[in-house]
Structure 1
Amino acid sequence: MVVLIFTGESRVDTWLWAEVLSADAFLAFEAAGLDYSKAVKETGWKFQETILDRGGGKAPLEVFIEFRDDWVTIGFSASTGGVAGQHTLKSWKFNSSLDAKEANENSSRKIKIVVAIAVLVIVLLIGTLLAYVIIRQRKKVNKRAEVTNLTSINDDFEIGTGPRRFSYQDLASATNDFSQDRKLGEGGFGAVYRGYLADVDMLIAVKKISKGSKQGRKEYVTEVKTISQLRHRNLVQLIGWCHERSEFLLVYEFMSNGSLDSHLFGKKSPFPWHIRYRITLGLASAILYLHEEWEQCVVHRDIKSSNVMLDSSFNVKLGDFGLAKLMNHELGRITTGLAGTFGYLAPEYISTRKASKESDVFSFGVVILEIATGRKSTDRMGEESDLGLVEWVWDLYGKGRLHSGVDERVRKDFDEKQAECLMIVGMWCSHPDSSLRPSIRLAIQVLKFETTMPNLPAKMPVPMYRVPTPLVNSREPSISYSSIEAGR
């Protein structure tokens, strides 16, 4: 509704016109005697009341208009025709309910927005509360399941003979509460501490699995179940285990001479050639037991120099069975997912994710080349060379300079025949074609000079499998410079 009010003076008889301009039309019509039907039809406007005084005095006019257009222009005029006259507009006022209506609409719109936001907030709060309740409930269920599982594991472990269960307090006391000065080393899944059990007068090594390592817990269970059943002079002896206070710990016999890599690449004094050769035979003997002499075939999957431990007499003790897999002797390969350490992985294992005795033999070949040369498997041989250890040794072999690859720290005092045999067997075991590698038994026979050495090609064959480049911090199954596990 639009209300137009104006008052004026006219000194003669006059006609007063009201002019209305809509969005599409402009009409002028007489204030008295209007054709209302025409006005409404053509403009959508309607005068509901018209007052006009023709006496030459004041002429107030009040017009009430209903409209249908979105916008309009309103004007007014007066005329005396051919007679002279004077007209004075004293005042005019224009009122409209449009603002009030728009305000009401805006107010209604604001109310709707506020209501919508309130509903959304309530829904979010309810959703958050439900999510919290569900997550908390799942944690409780998982915790109960974990407790049940650990109880089951305890029962399974205690059924067997050999390793015994330790209390956390016993191991904390033995390691001086796992102090830093007792730490022997640290790996991807935890740290190893030196300890002493006073009740049995024994030095021990305690492996403490990292709390946040789910993979470490899996390896913990695998190691206890696997190594507790194995008995061989060249395998690390598992003395006991413990899982209390959300801690997972493994207890081994203490190896006073540490790991093989600490002597080959670390600050410890290098050992002489005859000990190196004896270590090679001891490691081969351990692998032979795993592959052929136990009731099942054990594929170790992580044979490397840092997992070869040495006792006080430099006798080999192969350890770390967290990645080991059991299979029947008649099976060739098992799909396990990629696991191991970059530099020791067979090319076909990287490509197919299938572990086998042959992939273990490849790792063994790399380790004995490290023993012979004193070089790491991941070393680049020279600033301008892209050759890895195996390629480098094979290149020397092709040039007839194999002895020049022997560790210079023992080059003045080594057995040339043994060195040649050791390096040739190392190349043979790390052959790119798995079908051309020897069994570990045959490799031992050659190392003991019980059979002839193989005739290898002068140039290293091209790998038959694609070897992907190691990716740093990749979430995909990949090769790394430390122990890895993906998809097991």
Structure 2
Amino acid sequence: MENEFRKGTGPRQFRYSELATATDNFSDDKKLGEGGFGSVYRGFLKDLIIEVAIKRVSKGSKQGRKEYASEVRVISRLRHRNLVQIVGWCHTGGELLLVYELMPNSSLDVHLHATDNVLWWTVRHKIVLGIGSALLYLHQDWKECVLHRDIKTSNVMLDASFNAKLGDFGLARLVDHDKGSHTTELAGTLGYMDPECTVTGRASTESDVYSFGVVLLEIACGRRPTAARPDGTLIHLAQRVSELYGQGRILEAADARLDGNFDPQEVERVLVVGLWCTCHDRNLRPSIRQAINVLRLEAPLPERLPPVGHPAGPLPMPDSDTGHSSCTSTAQQLI
């Protein structure tokens, strides 16, 4: 794996002792989150004078080691203002550690669903464009196509200025630009995952676009992707917004906590593009570049949208991780 990292130009190799010192020997006081694959610690690197988040993979976690290898192959080679940057790495004596820039404003989902504070529209819109810019880079502008496979609001980190930084590349895969998809095991998070992926396991740029669409709707509506009905089934947010769209009332889907303090054209475009990205037929979804052009007011809205979500109505699925057991939400806020 050292050769993989050295293909990149930025990350440096740390000694284990340096990272132990930065975290007070990985003390519980420095622990930010813990999960099946490992723990995340807050640290301070004195020589670089920066605060960092350090992911320490559990020695007994095969999936954690697999995701570590994926991040080694992918994120260490990527450079974009809207991606979480890896500072360095360490693998010695059976220890696997990744060092990331620390995101002081945690993750997007924390702010969207906070009960004591409202994320105002101008900030939300900047975040929308930032996530789109990151995905455009991954899908089209880098030398290889990167499929993220787990785009969700808890994987969108926020820096001190609330700029979006897409993180957690543990499930990411590289594919050639002339190949449209990559068949693999089921991975991602239900609610954000393209329904077709739950059947075929085939990840593609279109499935990433679907997840992006769900995130757009969550940002504009301030609601989580799925909600329970009285009979126990779950209805997807895209279906709820689609009903209002069909009635010509789409702006009523906007987060009520914004109290109308938003640009109606921007909100409409975020909602409509969200629906466009989540349409059931992946062949009718926009490319990320088409979506970004509409969001930036550089292209018109589609005249008519195809059906969204699942053709059979409410989605009978739990809103939980499949194929990816992340750390607790606090840890997800970091990487």
TM-score by length of structure 1 reads 0.62
1:194–1:415 CA distance, 2 compared to 1 (3 A): same
Output the CA distance in 1 between the equivalents of 2:45 and 2:5.
21
Identify the residue that residue 228 of structure 1 maps to in structure 2. Answer: 76
- Taking the TM superposition and a 5 Å limit, the aligned residue runs for 1:371-382 are 371-380=219-228
Output the CA distance in 2 between the equivalents of 1:332 and 1:154.
29
Output the CA distance in 2 between the equivalents of 1:159 and 1:197.
24
- Taking the TM superposition and a 5 Å limit, the aligned residue runs for 1:166-181 are 166-181=14-29
Which of 417, 439, 443 is 2:291 aligned to? Answer: 443
Structure 2 residue 205 is matched with structure 1 residue 362? no
Q: Secondary structure at the match of 2:265?
A: helix
Q: Is the 8 A contact 2:180 2:204 kept in 1?
A: yes
Shift of the alpha carbon at 1:203? 0.7
Identify the residue that residue 295 of structure 1 maps to in structure 2. Answer: 143
Shift of the alpha carbon at 1:386? 4.4
Q: Is the 8 A contact 2:239 2:308 kept in 1?
A: no
Q: Aligned AA for 1:396? A: L
Structure 2 residue 321 is matched with structure 1 residue 482? yes
Output the CA distance in 1 between the equivalents of 2:165 and 2:89.
19
Q: Is the 8 A contact 2:238 2:308 kept in 1?
A: no
Identify the residue that residue 87 of structure 2 maps to in structure 1. Answer: 239
Shift of the alpha carbon at 1:343? 0.6
Q: Aligned AA for 1:326? A: L
Q: Is the 8 A contact 2:70 2:171 kept in 1?
A: yes
Identify the residue that residue 249 of structure 2 maps to in structure 1. Answer: 401
Shift of the alpha carbon at 1:155? 4.4
Number of residues of Structure 1 aligned to a counterpart in Structure 2: 325
Q: Is the 8 A contact 1:305 1:367 kept in 2?
A: yes
Shift of the alpha carbon at 1:185? 2.9
- Taking the TM superposition and a 5 Å limit, the aligned residue runs for 1:147-186 are 153-158=1-6, 160-186=8-34
Q: Secondary structure at the match of 1:361?
A: helix
Identify the residue that residue 331 of structure 2 maps to in structure 1. Answer: none
Identify the residue that residue 202 of structure 1 maps to in structure 2. Answer: 50
State the Cα deviation string for residues 133-156 of structure 1 (Å, max 9, x = none): xxxxxxxxxxxxxxxxxxxx2344
1:176–1:379 CA distance, 2 compared to 1 (3 A): farther
Q: Which has the larger radius of gyration?
A: 1
Shift of the alpha carbon at 1:219? 0.9
Identify the residue that residue 116 of structure 1 maps to in structure 2. Answer: none
Structure 2 residue runs without a partner (length 5+): 326-335
1:382–1:453 CA distance, 2 compared to 1 (3 A): farther
Q: Aligned AA for 2:221? A: T
Q: Is the 8 A contact 1:425 1:447 kept in 2?
A: yes
Structure 2 residue 60 is matched with structure 1 residue 212? yes
Q: Aligned AA for 1:484? A: G
State the Cα deviation string for residues 461-483 of structure 1 (Å, max 9, x = none): 57469998547xxxxxxxx6125
Structure 2 residue 124 is matched with structure 1 residue 276? yes
State the Cα deviation string for residues 191-210 of structure 1 (Å, max 9, x = none): 22211101111110111212
Q: Secondary structure at the match of 1:355?
A: strand
Shift of the alpha carbon at 1:436? 0.8
Output the CA distance in 1 between the equivalents of 2:133 and 2:106.
19
Q: Secondary structure at the match of 2:227?
A: coil
State the Cα deviation string for residues 151-195 of structure 1 (Å, max 9, x = none): xx2344346422111122211221222233323333442222211
Q: Secondary structure at the match of 1:228?
A: helix
Q: Is the 8 A contact 2:278 2:308 kept in 1?
A: no
Q: Is the 8 A contact 1:347 1:466 kept in 2?
A: no
Output the CA distance in 2 between the equivalents of 1:188 and 1:401.
44
TM-score by length of structure 2 reads 0.90
Output the CA distance in 1 between the equivalents of 2:228 and 2:174.
35
Q: Secondary structure at the match of 1:409?
A: helix
1:212–1:385 CA distance, 2 compared to 1 (3 A): closer
Q: Secondary structure at the match of 2:257?
A: coil
State the Cα deviation string for residues 302-359 of structure 1 (Å, max 9, x = none): 1111110110011111111111111111111111121001111112222211110000
1:225–1:461 CA distance, 2 compared to 1 (3 A): closer
1:409–1:181 CA distance, 2 compared to 1 (3 A): farther
1:387–1:464 CA distance, 2 compared to 1 (3 A): closer
Output the CA distance in 2 between the equivalents of 1:240 and 1:268.
36
Output the CA distance in 2 between the equivalents of 1:392 and 1:353.
26
Output the CA distance in 2 between the equivalents of 1:463 and 1:231.
35
Output the CA distance in 2 between the equivalents of 1:268 and 1:180.
28
- CA-atom RMSD in angstroms: 2.5
Q: Is the 8 A contact 2:236 2:315 kept in 1?
A: no
